[in-house]
Amino acid sequence: MSQQPGQPTQQEVHIREALERRVRIKRRLWEFLVIAGVLHVLFFVSLIVFPDWRRWLFEGGNYTIKDVDPTKEKVHEAIKILMDLYAKRFRDSAKEMAQIRLDIDKAQQAKLTQLRKVDADWKKQIDDGNAPRGTVFSPRADIEPPPLKFPSLPDMTRMDLAQLYELHKPLEHQCGKAYERFHAVQLAMQGADPIPLSKAIAVTTLVFPERRDPNTRALDSHISTILDGRFKRFKDELVDLWLESQNMLATAQRWRDLALARATAEDTIFGEPYDRIPKPIPYYGHFLNPRFLRRSELKKVIDPDVALGNQIVGKGLQAEWVSLDRWYIIGPWTHPGQERRLDQLDRKYPPESELDHPVNLDLVYKGMGKGGRTLRWKYRRMGSEFLAGGVRVEPYVIDNDKFAIWYFYTEVYSDEERDLWATFASDDYGVCWVNGAKVYYSPPETQPWVPFDRSSFRKLHLNKGVNRFLFKLENATGTTGLSVILMSSPAGSLGGT
């Protein structure tokens, strides 16, 4: 067919359609950009105009407070309530530490009386001719150590928060000195050969942890608005001081537990008699709420009875679990970094260097921790009031850090040689050794803490007596924790798998 004069060719039609299509695309693109820009502007305006919407969107809470910043009077009232609350907590913990020093001192006096009786009985045997011929009496209590004198607690109602915190330091030192004396008397009583009390006192020295000083500027309560950065620093400093004071209290409690237990029983593990079986408590798990990205408690989700303790005794305790709750913790050590290669995660730090021997809990690593910190072993006992009923073991909050590694050490007593099942869990990477042998390690990928996971079960062999557990825990970001839960029934009770 011939083309009519003045009629566009087919090629010209295609070119025209392509140009029109390009114009339509540009026009729609501009319309989209304009609409998107308007929506973004409206969104940012809404964040400014509607503070409740801003808080709900970014903080994930259901708020009813209408004002972004309460009045100056309300802020001062809230700060006063917060200060009064923490002041009462500090006073209560200081009173408890004052009582602890008296309890330890009473135990060391009773032990000293017992030592003098041992001397008297031994001297009587020699005088009566009931000792081997040629035996010469050498008293263990060769000196009369001066009594320990503790100052009375000052009037704490007149103290500010920094002073109340500082009061804990000498109280911890006094508790430690009382335990030093108790330990020296205990040392003088041990062994077949007499150990003079004077020598035992000379060689018994506790290494006291370094405690932080309060930031008095951060505790300045002259804050008129919660939007002031000083308000956050105030709260953070208050919480940090409280946690440090509780660390001191926990250390003093451990000394008292050791003294009171050893005063009545020689066979102890971390100061507790072997035959003491803790009361079983239910286990409560937790999950991450994906909407608010914060940890929340669930109602009971796992139903085995889980007891807290460090001993496996008795027979026939079918399907009953014991979660290890008493640990010595050291860290944080410097993490290899965000790359998280397995060879880096398996790097050996000092606590891992002598797995064939008991861990030396008295060693201090100056400047070897993350950020040049001085590291020493800290004792922590998880109770039923902790997250997940104490089943989840965590470092102290003040020691937590991202890209960091800790070591946890504990001892487990078994009344007989046995094989049993254990379930391990860690957040994130974890490795566990029992009596020097590696029994568990997790995948190197970051992971949540999930106890009783099917892949976490291992069969363990426990010796009769004390068994040494060393757990290496790595944290990538966020919180961290672990659990070691032992099944007290024989290892065949899970079907032999």
Query: Is residue 22 pLDDT above 90, yes or no?
Result: no
Amino acid 98: pLDDT: 95
- Provide the pLDDT confidence category of residue 338 given band limits of 50, 70 and 90: low
> How large is the average pLDDT for residues 37-42?
82
> How large is the average pLDDT for residues 435-453?
86
**Which of 27-31, 266-270, 325-329, 342-346 is predicted most confidently?**
325-329
Amino acid 3: pLDDT: 52
Query: Is residue 233 pLDDT above 80, yes or no?
Result: yes
Query: Is residue 207 pLDDT above 70, yes or no?
Result: yes
Q: What is the pTM of this model?
A: 0.50
More confident residue, 353 or 242: 242
Amino acid 97: pLDDT: 93
More confident residue, 180 or 77: 180
- Provide the pLDDT confidence category of residue 434 given band limits of 50, 70 and 90: very high
Amino acid 264: pLDDT: 54
> How large is the average pLDDT for residues 67-76?
67
Amino acid 105: pLDDT: 93
Amino acid 78: pLDDT: 78
Amino acid 272: pLDDT: 44
> How large is the average pLDDT for residues 55-77?
61
Query: Is residue 66 pLDDT above 50, yes or no?
Result: no
Amino acid 379: pLDDT: 87
More confident residue, 169 or 372: 169
Q: What percent of the chain has pLDDT over 90?
A: 19
Amino acid 309: pLDDT: 83
Looking at every residue in the chain, the average pLDDT score rounds to: 78
Q: 26-40, 82-96, 261-275 — which is least confidently predicted?
A: 261-275
Query: Is residue 491 pLDDT above 70, yes or no?
Result: no
More confident residue, 135 or 482: 482
> How large is the average pLDDT for residues 210-222?
82
- Provide the pLDDT confidence category of residue 140 given band limits of 50, 70 and 90: confident
Amino acid 493: pLDDT: 47
- Provide the pLDDT confidence category of residue 276 given band limits of 50, 70 and 90: very low
Q: 24-38, 41-55, 117-131, 368-382 — which is least confidently predicted?
A: 41-55
> How large is the average pLDDT for residues 258-265?
66
Amino acid 35: pLDDT: 86
Amino acid 226: pLDDT: 66
Amino acid 58: pLDDT: 63
Amino acid 455: pLDDT: 79
> How large is the average pLDDT for residues 425-446?
89
- Provide the pLDDT confidence category of residue 347 given band limits of 50, 70 and 90: confident
SS (H, E, C) the chain: CCCCCCCCCHHHHHHHHHHHHHHHHHHHHHHHHHHHHHHHHHHHHHHHHCHHHHHHHHHCCCCCCCCCCCCHHHHHHHHHHHHHHHHHHHHHHHHHHHHHHHHHHHHHHHHHHHHHHHHHHHHHHHHCCCCCCCCCCCCCCCCCCCCCCCCCCCCHHHCCHHHHHHHHHHHHHHHHHHHHHHHHHHHHHCCCCCCCHHHHHHHCCCCCCCCCCCCCCCCCCCCCCCCCHHHHHHHHHHHHHHHHHHHHHHHHHHHHHHHHHHCCCCCEECCEECCCCCCCEECCCEEEECCCCEEEECCCCCCCEEEEECEECCCCCCCCEEEECEEEEEEEEECCCCCCCHHHHCCCCHHHCCCCCCCCCCCEECCCCHHHCCEECEEEECCCCCHHHHCCECCCHHHCCCCEEEEEEEEEEECCCEEEEEEEEEECCEEEEECCEEEEECCCCCCCCCCCCHHHEEEEEECCEEEEEEEEEEECCCCCEEEEEEEEEECCCCCCC
